[in-house]
Chain A
Amino acid sequence: MTNNEKVLSVDNLVIKFNLRGQELTAIRGASLELYKGESLAIVGESGSGKSVFTKSFMGLLDANGRIESGSIIYKDNDLAKYKTEDDWIKIRGKEIAMVFQDPMTSLNPLKTVGKQVQESIELHQNLQGEEAKKLAVEILNDVGISEPERRYKQYPHEFSGGMRQRVVIAIAVACNPNILICDEPTTALDVTIQAQILQLLKNLQKKYQLTIIYITHDLGVVANVADRIAVMYAGDIIELGLSEEVFFDPKHPYTWALLSSLPQLGIKGEELYSIKGTPPNLFKEIKGDAFAPRNPHALKIDFEKRPPYFEVTPTHKARTWLLDPRAPKVEPPLSIQKMREMEVKRGERLE
């Protein structure tokens, strides 16, 4: 990453929801900087807040949700202060666009595929009629749909899952956005199709100079696409670093646990590592490190005081007291060490 131009910077964001008279804190002071042209992956379990976090960049929070404090700076504007739909319309699509998870439900079944792509061109790119149609066909071609002129006139039900996801991506790209948020873009797809879609996104990223945020729980996908990884737990980013740093030198016990539970790292016939307990209740105030109750390495201070970010390298930081110089030295679990060793060996073999 030679580019250090910030396109988006989120600072200390707190998002709350009102649910049945109770208040739930979904995002607990998360901060993030996004650089131009990069691919950032946000990983975490369901309920960790990764979708809510990114939805807030587009004003797509549900009606019972609100940004309590913090800022989201995009092109010198604070999106956290946006209130009306009129404000958001300037951002949505044109500046920040989203690819949703399930291609089976995110297309309009009553409109032809081409019209749906054209619609977003007409709305966002100041092109009308024939001109817009021409561009729509071109974008359909870009996303790898063969015979785009013929396919333009077809309806979503005539497309397979992978092809529909291409259309969903085409619609997002047709807005000509700066930032593309892909929310679990391949979860609903088969492995072979998944690989194709990821390749497509990478190609489009180059062609349209997109900055992409991937939201996913699949660490294989993350390894494939991400320049940087942000690990979310209980509404906070607990570790952030370059992809290699997070995979080969993870620091937060939650990141260790997440990586260790991958079947790829398990040993056949032995028990697979699994995280004990359940994520914290976000209706209650969380004291200390949110992961502490499930953390076998938890220190006393983990239950009392929330850890700050400790810098590992200029690009890598983690919120865990284990990085405090006063903390006892804790080795990462064996599977993490094994992964690192295997990578070192692989590197030597290549040389």
Chain B
Amino acid sequence: MSNKECLLEVKNLRVEFGKGKQKFVAVNDVSFNIYKGETFGLVGESGSGKTTIGRAIIRINPAASGDIIYNGQKISGKIDKELDSQVTRKIQMIFQDPMASLNERAKVDYIVSEGLYNLKNYGSEEGRKKKVEQALLDVGLLPEFASRFPHEFSGGQRQRIGIARVLVMEPELVIADEPISALDVSIRAQVINLLSDLQKKKGLTYLFIAHDLSVVRFISDRIAVIYKGNIVELAESEKLFANPLHPYTKSLLSAIPTPNPNVERNKIIEVYEPKKSHFDYDSNRPKWVEIEPEHYILANDRELEGYKKIMGR
């Protein structure tokens, strides 16, 4: 997999909220690439900054420093109108809660078309209707549903509408922010299948943001683990699960619930204590290092040596 084409590059991204004393750094010096056609998983607990990264990419949250490069073009900071509308079309977002993310007063037809209306890129009214119809079919809903209101649909169907309104824009990169957390177990499987199906058919690239590691493992090619605004480890999914190095990744993996009572009852959860693990960070700052091909980790020199020893074994 050496000839992978880079679709999105995030370089030393920093996102801040507030000013002066109130200033809060939500994302700190984060770098990663997303390759064309892959599913890139971003996991972390609530408040870790995973959603903020997603929102920085679609230009909702401004980057304080660092660059976001999409298809070779810088899209962070000030960009011209033309590029802005291109980015809006090509990068789309699926939201977490289908109960809250649809306009209750609008019909499905309008909800799905809203992006088209904003960019005015649908040609004729007939063309728009065609696009909406196709998007609804793509997510497994009937075109007739266009004339209905969101409250007439179940949670799973509403999430499909949320996906349809993304598809109608014909995006390249889809940021899926916890798209299945609010759904029931049985419906989760349907939506996961739909997402991977669409990826195959349309060649989509996903940034999949979630806190549920078992889902992320199932769907992602590579996974980045984020803790308090820093990405601490990034590797191919199976490699990460087989060989986690960073203590936070380890603790996160140890906490994943397994559907096996015998395993669960004897499970030992590794506790992550940043102060203990990283006691020398004041004098020996951590760096973002590629410890083996395609496996990145945030570590200082002392830790790196330790990790290398573990890997050598």
Q: A45-B185, A243-B261 are in contact. List 13 more A-B contacts (CB 8 A).
A: A191-B212, A192-B251, A192-B252, A219-B257, A220-B264, A224-B257, A259-B259, A261-B189, A262-B185, A263-B219, A264-B214, A264-B259, A272-B189
For the complex, is B263 an interface residue (Cβ under 8 Å from A)?
yes
- Chain B, residues 154-173, CB within 8 Å of chain A (1/0): the string is 11000000000000000000
- B220 — nearest CB in chain A belongs to which residue? A268
Contacting residue for A218 out of B193, B218, B257, B269, CB 8 A: B257
Partner-contacting stretch, out of A13-21, A72-80, A273-281, A319-327: A273-281
Would you call A247 and B269 a contact (CB within 8 A)?
no
Main secondary structure of the interface of A (DSSP, over half): helix
- Residues in A with CB closer than 8 Å to B217 are 263
Interface size on A, residues (CB 8 A): 43
CB under 8 Å from chain A, chain B span 256-281: 256-265, 267, 269, 272
- Which one of B197, B213, B258, B272 has the highest number of Cβ atoms from chain A below 10 Å of its Cβ? B258
Would you call A193 and B45 a contact (CB within 8 A)?
yes
CB under 8 Å from chain B, chain A span 201-244: 217-224, 226, 243-244
- Which one of B193, B217, B219, B264 has the highest number of Cβ atoms from chain A below 10 Å of its Cβ? B264
Would you call B46 and A190 a contact (CB within 8 A)?
yes
- Residues in B with CB closer than 8 Å to A272 are 189, 192-193, 218
- Chain A, residues 332-351, CB within 8 Å of chain B (1/0): the string is 00000001000100110000
Main secondary structure of the interface of B (DSSP, over half): helix
- Residues in A with CB closer than 8 Å to B193 are 271-272, 274
CB under 8 Å from chain B, chain A span 178-196: 190-196
Would you call A191 and B184 a contact (CB within 8 A)?
no
- Chain A, residues 143-161, CB within 8 Å of chain B (1/0): the string is 0000000000000000001
For the complex, is A266 an interface residue (Cβ under 8 Å from B)?
yes
* Chain B residues packing against A (C-beta within 8 Å): 45-46, 154-155, 184-190, 192-193, 196-197, 211-215, 217-219, 237, 251-252, 255-265, 267, 269, 272
- The CA of A193 and the CA of B258, in the complex, are separated in Å by 16
Q: List 19 A-B contacts (CB under 8 A).
A: A161-B46, A191-B211, A192-B269, A192-B272, A193-B45, A195-B257, A220-B256, A223-B257, A223-B261, A224-B261, A261-B188, A262-B259, A263-B189, A263-B215, A263-B218, A264-B259, A274-B186, A339-B260, A346-B262
For the complex, is A46 an interface residue (Cβ under 8 Å from B)?
yes
- The CA of A244 and the CA of B272, in the complex, are separated in Å by 31
Query: What 10 pairs between A and B have smallest CB-CB spacing?
Result: A220-B257, A274-B189, A263-B218, A190-B45, A261-B189, A224-B264, A223-B264, A243-B261, A275-B186, A274-B190
- Residues in A with CB closer than 8 Å to B188 are 261, 263
Would you call B185 and A220 a contact (CB within 8 A)?
no
- Residues in A with CB closer than 8 Å to B185 are 45, 217-219, 258, 261-262
